[in-house]
Structure 1
Amino acid sequence: MIFLTVGLVLLGVFALRFHADRRRISNGVWLLLGVTVTGVWIAGSGGQGDLVRTLTGVLVVLSPIAVLTFAGLLLGNGLKMMRNEGMRIANLLSIGPGVVLTVPYVMLVVAVVTGNLRSVLLSTLAMALCYIGFVFTSFVLYSLVYGWMPYRPGMDAIVVHGSGLVGARVSPLLADRLDRAIHIYWAEIAEGRRPVIIASGGKGPDEAVPEATAMAEYMIARGVPEDCVATEQRSTTTRENLLFVKRLLGDRGSKIRMVLVTSNFHVLRTAILARRLGLDAEVTGARTAFYYLPSAMFREFVAVLVAYKWTNVLACLALAAVPLVLALATGGLVHR
């Protein structure tokens, strides 16, 4: 019953933190720990010792599987993108990380097969990758949970984040976001509210007009009243989107509730940024073509790792030090 109690406590902590603010990235860690411990208790049929060994095995195996599965998705995604969109550097961004993530495990297999287990460096790298695998699993799990949350009406503003134009035209990815925002607008109208829609996006070097201008024209052409559409035309990043929109909405009063509309892969990071900037905002996502998701999720995950870089660096260093400490304590790793 100890495992069940611990699992339920972890899930309870997740539920309380989720109710208080669903935009915390740490919610995913509590959720994954709770699900893992509770799942091990459900699957276990022996005594506590069996459950301890099972949990240890699950945690040890889960992280490498997560990393290797994601590496395979990145490799497959890069090849598919090259077939669909041609040989471009952007498409290689999936293949490169996929190879990098796979190499340490290939090296480990070679070491085991050849009987050489003295590589402390490889062990430290594997420990760090296990941590990254666990964090990545919690990130993907919580991204799915957050993305599945239904939209809650009652917003004063609908903010649509730009994602690039094709010349002066809205790209398919951006069109999906705008269509989602239009759907939310009419849902709010049906509830008796009249929110403003803010198109947010500046002008890129290869774009004929600011993103916000093309976005506003797209929505007006599809029936949204012109006086309900505003534009923010200076931003080039998600953070700038939020900062400039915050200033723009500051002129309308301090108590502005807003929904941020982006692509489904971008929902969690946008929510985290909104929370860190003190915005009273929730995030909803538009669907994205499946083949685009692995590389997009990789970029999102890396951005979150960088945002919390010192926490992750310290955690990796602490785990990487474990094999070194054991090697020093035992006088070296055991030969096979």
Structure 2
Amino acid sequence: MLGRRFEVWGVAVAFAVAALATAIGVRDGWTGVVDAAAWISAVATVPTLGVAGFAHAIAMRRMQRVKVHDLAIAGVGILATAIVVVAIVLAPTRPDLATGLLHCCWPAWILGLAFAAYLLHAATSRPLAPGMTPRTIVVLGGALKGRHVGPLLRRRVERAATLWHAGDANVRMVVSGGQGRDEPRSEAEAMAEHLVEACGVPEDAIDLEDRSTSTEENLALTRALGAPEPWLVVTSEYHVPRTRVLLQRLGIAGDAIDSWSSPVYRPGALVRELAATVRPARGTLLVLGGLAVATTIVGVARTAGLVG
């Protein structure tokens, strides 16, 4: 779903780990290479998935809604970091035990490497249509605070309003977002109200798309309203790369532009973007899953033997 650029970064990250592990461990044969790969992958996970986990744990204190995946992002990142720290502490006196411990956690290291590839993918995202003059500004929905827009969604709405006031008065504004299970009304309705009452956008310039429950539905259902293209889609900066991919995938002319979000919220949000967008082919998933299970079993057996 993410296209060739993410696939290229994924292959590049995997190749870099394999090449470095071979250079470090080749003298000890294939076991040395595999052990080196475990250390490289684990250490690479700390500044990616680990940092995201700690940041997300802090960010959850200010979230409108904390969901299971938020707890998972924080928990996996913190746990992965703790395991690496324990392995580093053990390494001087019990190197085999430290390495065996890392081999028990290959699913986390694979996720950490995938996240590193996604960060590179996001960092290299480029405008789809530089200098484009939009005919429609689309604002993507987000969590409400009671009946009103929450802080993150308010920034999207106000960024869109600034763009609308600076452009042609004939540009349409579409607010897109359905009603969540724990929300008293649709996100689109709350956004439209804020645009009119707080941002000075005329009500007759705004169209509501109030049925969508995902980014892809935001775009597809907005197109079903007949919103003229090209579009300028306003969303949070961590969400821009995925939105651009979806615009291309759906064949919609336009681009996405960012609104500010708290730096402490972004790392965990990027992990969520990875989970929401990466859908490996069944064969790839089976290969990665089989490899993770096999290496984990070997790691557990090795560690149990060393402990015993």
**How much has 1:161 moved relative to structure 2?**
0.7
1:1-336 equivalent positions in 2, closer than 5 A: 24-30=2-8, 53=23, 63-81=41-59, 92-102=71-81, 105=84, 113-116=93-96, 123=103, 125-126=105-106, 129-146=108-125, 152-189=131-168, 194-221=170-197, 222-249=199-226, 256-305=229-278, 307-308=279-280, 310=282, 312-317=284-289, 320=292
**How much has 1:264 moved relative to structure 2?**
0.9
- Cα deviation, 1:132-171, whole Å, max 9, x if unaligned, reads 3333112112213327889633222111111021122111
- Cα deviation, 1:167-224, whole Å, max 9, x if unaligned, reads 22111111111122122223432xxx73211001112333333211121122223222
> Which moves more between the two structures, 135-144 or 60-69?
60-69
Partners in 2 of 1:86 and 1:278 — Cα distance? 33
Cα 1:81–1:35, aligned 2, differ >3 Å: closer, same or farther? closer
Find the residue that maps to 1:235 and give its secondary structure: coil
Report percent identity of matched pairs.
27
Any conservation in 1 of the 2:84–2:102 contact (CA below 8 Å)? no
Any conservation in 2 of the 1:74–1:294 contact (CA below 8 Å)? yes
Partners in 2 of 1:218 and 1:234 — Cα distance? 19
**How much has 1:236 moved relative to structure 2?**
2.0
Partners in 2 of 1:202 and 1:289 — Cα distance? 24
**How much has 1:234 moved relative to structure 2?**
1.1
Partners in 2 of 1:155 and 1:311 — Cα distance? 41
Cα 1:74–1:241, aligned 2, differ >3 Å: closer, same or farther? same
**How much has 1:94 moved relative to structure 2?**
3.9
Any conservation in 1 of the 2:212–2:221 contact (CA below 8 Å)? yes
**How much has 1:117 moved relative to structure 2?**
6.4
Find the residue that maps to 1:146 and give its secondary structure: coil
Partners in 1 of 2:283 and 2:171 — Cα distance? 39
- Cα deviation, 1:96-144, whole Å, max 9, x if unaligned, reads 1224434664675588553546988964853x55543333112112213
Structure 1 unaligned spans of 5+: 1-22, 40-48
Q: TM-score, normalised by structure 2?
A: 0.72
Partners in 1 of 2:282 and 2:79 — Cα distance? 22
Structure 2 unaligned spans of 5+: 27-32
The Cα RMSD (Å) is 4.5
Aligned residues: 291
- Cα deviation, 1:268-290, whole Å, max 9, x if unaligned, reads 22222333333233221211011
Any conservation in 1 of the 2:247–2:254 contact (CA below 8 Å)? yes
- Cα deviation, 1:49-97, whole Å, max 9, x if unaligned, reads 99x949x999887643331123432343244236556996666444312
2:250 counterpart letter in structure 1: L
Cα 1:236–1:317, aligned 2, differ >3 Å: closer, same or farther? closer
Q: Which residue of 2 aligns with 1:43?
A: none
Partners in 2 of 1:93 and 1:125 — Cα distance? 15
Partners in 2 of 1:108 and 1:120 — Cα distance? 9
Cα 1:212–1:225, aligned 2, differ >3 Å: closer, same or farther? same
Find the residue that maps to 1:291 and give its secondary structure: coil
Cα 1:34–1:309, aligned 2, differ >3 Å: closer, same or farther? closer
Q: Which residue of 2 aligns with 1:11?
A: none
1:245 counterpart letter in structure 2: T
Any conservation in 1 of the 2:236–2:258 contact (CA below 8 Å)? yes
Any conservation in 1 of the 2:127–2:255 contact (CA below 8 Å)? no
Partners in 2 of 1:276 and 1:124 — Cα distance? 38
Find the residue that maps to 1:154 and give its secondary structure: coil
| Structure with greater contact order relative to length (CA < 8 Å, sep ≥ 6) | 2
Partners in 2 of 1:217 and 1:99 — Cα distance? 40
Any conservation in 1 of the 2:13–2:113 contact (CA below 8 Å)? no
Partners in 2 of 1:238 and 1:211 — Cα distance? 13
Cα 1:61–1:142, aligned 2, differ >3 Å: closer, same or farther? farther
